[in-house]
């Protein structure tokens, strides 16, 4: 019976030298992709020991791993495309908010001629008294609104657009701030006012959508809890 002589040169055929690998250009990513896995898998088959070849079970297991890796890679590509398309769709849907009023916390709000500014204050524990200060764009106090005891929940507030002398304030940006006496202690509480949406923007990095309101402030769409007319 004829036998085949296996020499060291035949075993080393197709083996890549260390110097070649060392001088090969490095990839920018440290993660191994499916093409890298396939290259290693093919090299293993080409350079296996003919006297001790890879067993069928190991071959099937590695092939299954490659198939799973390729499926996960394709799934990731599909998810990336889906996220991108959803980001554009959210931006288009959010465009309908332009010109409408949304509740924004502690931001200058535009007062139109003869108009008013509405908002609300969240008081989870209620309050024995609330004071709302209205200041103009220069930081000057325009009006003070004083309210008595309040039940727990949202307290609606409305500034009629008049100053302390009961004269109409000029149109412009005004900020409403509030303090409340809760459990005997006076503390600042946030004021939610209705501001008009002027523009919509999206962040290419994470696909988040933000809205720009009066005064140039930008807030995330997910932070808006109320939309008005």
pLDDT by residue (tens digit) across 181-191?
999 999 999 99
Query: Mean pLDDT for the chain?
Result: 77
Q: Which residue has the higher pLDDT, 115 or 43?
A: 115
CATH of the domain at 113: 2.60.40.4070
Give the residue with greater pLDDT, 70 vs 169: 169
CA distances from 199 to 50, 93, 147, 219, 223 (A): 69, 13, 35, 11, 16
pLDDT for 7 beyond 50: no
First and final C-alpha spacing in the chain: 95
d(CA 102, CA 108): 13
**What is the pLDDT at residue 9?**
44
Cα distance between residue 102 and residue 123, in whole Å: 20
185, part of any domain: yes
Is 53 within the bounds of a domain?
no
Mean pLDDT value of segment 44-64: 67
Contact, 211 vs 97, CB < 8 A?
Answer: yes
Q: Which of 99, 124, 101 is nearest to 226 (CA)?
A: 101
Is 24 a residue whose pLDDT tops 60? no
Cβ distance 15 to 47 under 8 Å?
A: yes
What whole-number percentage of the chain has pLDDT above 90? 32
What pLDDT score does 147 carry?
92
Instruction: Determine, yes or no, domain membership for 181.
Output: yes
User: Could you tell me the maximum CA-CA distance found in the chain, to the nearest angstrom?
Assistant: 118
Domain span at residue 188 reads 98-228
Confidence of residue 217 (pLDDT cuts 50, 70, 90): confident
Report residue 6's pLDDT band, with 50, 70 and 90 as the boundaries.
very low
> What is the Cα–Cα distance from 118 to 110, expressed in whole angstroms?
11
Strand partners of residue 110 = 173
Q: What is the pTM of this model?
A: 0.57
How far apart CA 131 and CA 37 sit, in angstroms, is 67
77 compared with 20, residue with greater pLDDT = 77
| Closest residue by Cα to residue 196 from 92, 93, 96, 98 | 98
Q: Give the tens place of pLDDT for each residue, 192-212.
A: 988 888 888 877 777 788 888
Task: Give me the pLDDT at residue 163, please.
Answer: 93
Please give the structure tokens belonging to residue 86: 């959803």
Distance, CA of 225 to CA of 223 (rounded, Å) = 6
pLDDT at 5: 44
β-strand pairing of 218-220 with 227-228: unpaired
| The predicted structure's pLDDT at residue 148 | 92
Cβ–Cβ < 8 Å for 130, 177: no
Residue 204 lies in a domain: yes
Number of domains within the chain: 1
Q: pLDDT of 97-107, one tens digit each? A: 888 888 888 88
More confident call, 229 vs 181: 181
- Does 201 reside within a domain? yes
């Amino acid at each position: 019976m004829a036998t085949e002589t296996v020499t060291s040169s035949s075993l080393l055929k197709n083996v890549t030298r260390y110097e070649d690998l060392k001088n090969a250009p490095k990839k920018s990513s440290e993660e191994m992709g499916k093409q890298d896995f396939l290259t290693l898998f093919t090299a293993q088959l080409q350079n296996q020991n003919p006297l001790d070849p890879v067993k069928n079970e190991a071959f099937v297991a590695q092939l299954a791993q490659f198939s799973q890796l390729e499926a996960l890679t394709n799934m990731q590509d599909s998810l990336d495309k889906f996220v991108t398309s959803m980001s554009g769709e959210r931006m288009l849907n959010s465009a309908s908010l332009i010109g409408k009023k949304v509740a924004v916390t502690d931001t200058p709000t535009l007062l139109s001629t003869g108009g008013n500014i509405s908002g609300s204050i969240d008081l989870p524990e209620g309050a024995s008294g609330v004071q709302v200060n209205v200041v103009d764009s220069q930081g000057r106090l325009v009006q003070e609104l004083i309210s008595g005891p309040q039940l727990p929940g949202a307290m609606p507030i409305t500034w009629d657009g008049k100053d302390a002398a009961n004269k109409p304030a000029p149109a412009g940006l005004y900020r409403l701030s509030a303090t409340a006496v809760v459990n005997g202690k006076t503390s600042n509480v946030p004021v939610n006012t209705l501001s008009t949406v002027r523009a919509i923007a999206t962040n290419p990095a994470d696909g988040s959508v933000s809205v720009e309101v009066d005064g140039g402030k930008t807030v995330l769409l997910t932070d808006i809890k109320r939309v008005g007319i």
